[in-house]
Amino acid sequence: MLYENDHKYFMAKVLDLAISKKGFVSPNPYVACLLVSNGQVIGTGLHNGAGSSHAELDALLKLPKCFDRSKIILYVNLEPCCHFDKRTPPCAQLLIREGITNVVIGCLDPNIKVSGNGVKLLRNNNIDVTTGVLEDECKKINKIFFKNMLKGLPYFEGKIACSLDGKIALENGSSKWITSSKSRKRCHEDRVLYDAILVGKNTFFTDRPKLNSRDKDKVIKENKKIIIGNYLDIIDSIGDYNPNNIIIISQSSVQDSASIMNHNGIRILFFKDKIEEVFNQLLSIGICSVYVEGGGKTFSYFLKKKIFDEISIYKSPKILGKGKSFSDQFRVNNISESLHLKNIEYTILGEDILLKGYL
Amino acid sequence: MLYENDHKYFMAKVLDLAISKKGFVSPNPYVACLLVSNGQVIGTGLHNGAGSSHAELDALLKLPKCFDRSKIILYVNLEPCCHFDKRTPPCAQLLIREGITNVVIGCLDPNIKVSGNGVKLLRNNNIDVTTGVLEDECKKINKIFFKNMLKGLPYFEGKIACSLDGKIALENGSSKWITSSKSRKRCHEDRVLYDAILVGKNTFFTDRPKLNSRDKDKVIKENKKIIIGNYLDIIDSIGDYNPNNIIIISQSSVQDSASIMNHNGIRILFFKDKIEEVFNQLLSIGICSVYVEGGGKTFSYFLKKKIFDEISIYKSPKILGKGKSFSDQFRVNNISESLHLKNIEYTILGEDILLKGYL
């Protein structure tokens, strides 16, 4: 019999493996599994993204047929699925059919078609099931998937690079560079995690940003690019951008709210009053997560409407004085109404610091 | 024979002892010494503030007469003095007379009357002298004394409590509380280190701050209070403040620049054009170090004139939006002209963070 700490030890290994696919499994969750026998890892499985095997199948396919399945503990970070409307057959059935007798699960699946039912099915078939091992960590690596499933909305992270006094640019617009190259490198590592990068039209027209994820000059991922602004103006200035990667969120009084138009590959999502009207439509076109990079007007709006799930603020040890703040158009009447970030994580990046918090 | 690491080990103990008097030796430096024989600490000495014994004398007075002085290594963080214009006789002579043969010194005295001469005198009397052990640390604990001696000016630290977006108050002036009680506690621990706390007249009239160092409600030190503003207005509103603790920096076209007036205990320092004119006069009335607590206008002025030696920024994980920034009246035209803090130290204080840097 293994102790609880052994379970945590192996689940931590499962998480390391699952996150190795970071940025490349959307719209699916990160899932890995470990096959452990006699305290030894004898097999691993990994989900490689939509259309490929689930982690459990991946592991069991690789395991020699002669190996006695009843001697194995299968560790998996997310509850095995039990529904038939995916491209792959349900994993709970697979484990039963394979003769697995012992399963350790990180967290339940938030998908209402699964949540708890996978565990129930396993237990009804005399499989010993332990749940809730490193549960918080398991939920955290799949925060995007949980938000999608529970709210029907994309996960939003806001990113700001600013000075000690909260400035993102001088009054004359100058902003190169407030933070260090180490901060910018880290930002590109975070961009990878997201399906799309969003900016307002001012940033788009002024900076013509690449909005992809790079390591030095090598493109690691060509994120979709969401631009908020009048679609005719933006289409006019599309230039070298690949239209298939461009999504425009545009106001229109004539189009139906949340209707989608395709113009030579460019997707245009229309809203009548507020951009939030199109957010669930983003999911329908495969955008499960959005990295919001500004500028100040866009950021203030997202702050005001409490849209962010998470905010990353890169701070350099500089004082810029009079200039543009990232929150200039956000306003409260009382300190207690201010946006208060929770579960703050601090990361030192050279002489800069990254403050990450959740709303 | 001891190794270099032993020297560092004992010097670190000297520093711990020296700093135990923090906030209470001004205008003198922090000095302690250790008497070590055969790798054992057999005596300690501490300077307790102006008028009391220097650390070397304190240690040797306590050492039994029978103890063989030639077997001792004397560790001291600051070079022993060799001039006669202090209230106490010079320490270098004392060590020679006492028959000390081995002295380890942290850093040389910045006082031009001493610097290097204390060491020379010891060596000329056949004493084995090692210098520069934990030199940077030794200079750092006496940063105030070094600034006073080298520049003839007080040491200035700026302190700001602000939100993630650099705000010190909402537009309506509300600022209670942006940072947490842990941050405020730490701020009071830092106030102790300073002779005086400085605020602008707006902060003085609006907040009527106590400007002393407290642990919970217990007053640990009644710092001098420096207020910048018209002296007649401030004298009129002196209320419950003890006049002997009040120093006013006031502009006047009729008074001589840097002249000092005493009004019922209140000292008034006059300047013609810029407050910097009175800074060396602060030293003459015993103010060797100043903790600048704002508000925004005062802080911006000190930033603009690069007066600060050190800046502490307490940041809470809140976003306040539109409001008052600590640097609103400071302005640069180019990112490269921004104030760039060096040697940043980060301290986590509950959910707040303290960023300390040097200019």
Q: Given a cut of 70, is residue A2 above it in pLDDT? A: no
Q: With an 8 Å Cβ cutoff, are A327 and B341 in contact?
A: no
Residues in chain A with CB shorter than 8 Å from the CB of B315 are 355
Closest Cα in chain B, distance from residue A340 (Å): 4
Sole residue written with tokens 């001291």: B76
| Closest in B171, B330, B344 to A321, CB measured | B330
* Count of all residues that appear for chain A in the document: 359
The whole-angstrom separation of Cα B55 and Cα B48 is 8
Q: In angstroms, how far apart are the furthest CA atoms of chain A?
A: 72
Residue A199 lies in a domain: yes
Q: With an 8 Å Cβ cutoff, are A330 and B346 in contact?
A: no
Closest Cα in chain B, distance from residue A141 (Å): 23
Report the candidate in A332, A334, A329, A294 with the shortest Cα–Cα distance to residue A312.
A294
Number of domains present in the structure of chain B: 2
B313 touches B346 (CB < 8 A)? no
Residues 163-192 of A with CB under 8 A from B: 163-167, 170-172, 174-178
A57, containing H or E segment: helix A55-62
Q: With an 8 Å Cβ cutoff, are A321 and B344 in contact?
A: no
Please tell me whether residues A53 and A20 are part of one structural domain: yes
Closest Cα in chain B, distance from residue A167 (Å): 8
pLDDT digit string (tens) for chain B, length 359 residues: 556 679 999 999 999 999 999 999 999 999 999 999 999 999 999 999 988 899 999 999 999 888 889 999 999 999 998 876 666 678 999 999 999 999 999 999 998 888 899 999 999 999 999 999 999 999 999 999 999 999 999 999 999 999 999 999 998 888 888 999 999 999 999 999 999 999 999 999 988 999 999 998 899 999 999 999 999 999 999 999 999 999 999 999 888 888 899 999 999 999 999 999 999 999 999 999 999 998 888 999 999 999 999 999 999 999 999 999 999 888 999 999 999 999 999 999 999 999 999 98
Which backbone phi and psi does A111 adopt, to 5 degrees?
Answer: -60, 120
Residue A320 near chain B (CB below 8 Å): yes
Residue B175 lies in a domain: yes
Residue A275 lies in a domain: no
Q: What does the pLDDT look like over A140-192, one tens digit per residue?
A: 999 999 999 999 999 999 999 999 999 999 988 888 889 999 999 999 999 99
Please tell me whether residues A126 and A156 are part of one structural domain: no
The whole-angstrom separation of Cα B203 and Cα B180 is 20
Q: With an 8 Å Cβ cutoff, are A329 and B321 in contact?
A: yes
| Closest in A171, A176, A321 to B327, CB measured | A321
Sole residue written with tokens 């961009």: A191
Distances (CA, A) of A331 to A98, A162, A300, B127, B300: 59, 19, 9, 68, 23
Q: With an 8 Å Cβ cutoff, are B317 and A326 in contact?
A: no
* Burial status of residue B6 (CB atoms within 10 A of its CB: 0-12, 13-18, 19 or more): middle
Residue A186 lies in a domain: yes
Q: In chain A, whose CA is at the least distance from the CA of B350? A: A344
> What mean pLDDT do residues A81-86 have?
74
Task: Calculate the CA A64 to chain-centre distance.
Answer: 35
Please tell me whether residues B107 and B132 are part of one structural domain: yes
Task: Calculate the CA A203 to chain-centre distance.
Answer: 23
Residue B340 near chain A (CB below 8 Å): yes
Q: According to the model, what pLDDT value does residue A290 have?
A: 98
Please tell me whether residues B120 and B173 are part of one structural domain: no
Q: Which two tokens stand for residue B75?
A: 């560790």
Closest Cα in chain B, distance from residue A122 (Å): 42
Residues in chain B with CB shorter than 8 Å from the CB of A333 are 170, 172
- Between A99-108, A328-337, B10-19, B238-247, the lowest mean confidence (pLDDT) is in A328-337
Domain boundary among A83, A113, A142: A142
Complex ipTM over 0.85: no
Distances (CA, A) of A236 to A223, A263, B27: 21, 12, 69
Please tell me whether residues A126 and A176 are part of one structural domain: no
User: What's the CA angle centered on A224, arms A222 and A226, to 5 degrees?
Assistant: 145
Please tell me whether residues B179 and B272 are part of one structural domain: yes
| Closest in A176, A331, A339 to B322, CB measured | A331
Residue B207: CATH number of its domain: 3.40.430.10
Please tell me whether residues A106 and A178 are part of one structural domain: no
Quote the pTM value: 0.86
Q: With an 8 Å Cβ cutoff, are A313 and B338 in contact?
A: no
User: What's the CA angle centered on B234, arms B273 and B231, to 5 degrees?
Assistant: 35
Residue A125's domain comprises: 4-142
Q: With an 8 Å Cβ cutoff, are B327 and A165 in contact?
A: yes
Please tell me whether residues A55 and A189 are part of one structural domain: no
| Closest in B171, B317, B339 to A318, CB measured | B339
Q: Which of A4, A56, A157, A351 is catalytic?
A: A56
Chains A, B: CB contacts under 8 A, how many?
Answer: 140
- 3-state secondary structure string, chain B? CCCHHHHHHHHHHHHHHHHHHCCCCCCCCCCEEEEEECCEEEEEEECCCCCCCCHHHHHHHHCCCCCCHHHCEEEEEECCCCCCCCCCCCHHHHHHHHCCCEEEEEECCCCCCCCCHHHHHHHHCCCEEECCCCHHHHHHHCHHHHHHHHHCCCEEEEEEEECCCCEEEECCCCCCCCCCHHHHHHHHHHHCCCCEEEEEHHHHHHHCCCCCEEECCEEEECCEEEEECCHHHHHHCCCCCCHHHEEEEEECCCCCCCCEEEECCEEEEEECCCHHHHHHHHHHCCCCEEEECCCHHHHHHHHHCCCCCEEEEEECCEECECEEECCCCCECCCHHHCEECEEEEEEEECCEEEEEEEC
Closest Cα in chain B, distance from residue A245 (Å): 32
The whole-angstrom separation of Cα A323 and Cα A64 is 65
The whole-angstrom separation of Cα B94 and Cα B109 is 17
For the CA atoms of A301, A305, B166, B334, the dihedral, rounded to the nearest 10 degrees, stands at -10
Domain boundary among B79, B109, B142: B142
Residue A347 near chain B (CB below 8 Å): no
Q: Given a cut of 60, is residue A231 above it in pLDDT? A: yes
Domain boundary among A101, A120, A142: A142
The whole-angstrom separation of Cα B281 and Cα B259 is 8
Residue A8 lies in a domain: yes
Please tell me whether residues A157 and A118 are part of one structural domain: no
Q: In chain A, whose CA is at the least distance from the CA of B297? A: A321
Closest Cα in chain B, distance from residue A112 (Å): 34
Residues 277-316 of B with CB under 8 A from A: 300, 303, 311, 313, 315
Residue A136: CATH number of its domain: 3.40.140.10
Closest Cα in chain A, distance from residue B260 (Å): 33
Residue type, A336: S
Average pLDDT, chain A: 93
B246-251 vs B266-271, strand pairing mode: parallel
Residues in chain A with CB shorter than 8 Å from the CB of B331 are 171, 321-322
Q: Does the active-site annotation cover B56?
A: yes
Please tell me whether residues B197 and B137 are part of one structural domain: no
Residue A338 near chain B (CB below 8 Å): yes
Residues in chain A with CB shorter than 8 Å from the CB of B178 are 335
A234, containing H or E segment: helix A231-236
Q: Which of B56, B79, B277, B310 is catalytic?
A: B56
Residues 74-93 of A with CB under 8 A from B: none
Residue A262 lies in a domain: no
Please tell me whether residues A115 and A73 are part of one structural domain: yes
Residue A267 lies in a domain: no
Q: With an 8 Å Cβ cutoff, are B319 and A342 in contact?
A: no
Better pLDDT: B295 or A86: B295
* Dihedral sign for Cα atoms in the order A175, A177, A181, A183: negative
Residue B327 near chain A (CB below 8 Å): yes
Q: According to the model, what pLDDT value does residue A173 have?
A: 85
The whole-angstrom separation of Cα B314 and Cα B297 is 18
Please tell me whether residues B99 and B197 are part of one structural domain: no
Q: With an 8 Å Cβ cutoff, are A335 and B175 in contact?
A: yes
Q: In chain B, whose CA is at the least distance from the CA of A176? A: B335
Q: According to the model, what pLDDT value does residue B202 have?
A: 92
Residues in chain B with CB shorter than 8 Å from the CB of A327 are 165, 319-322
Residue B147 lies in a domain: no
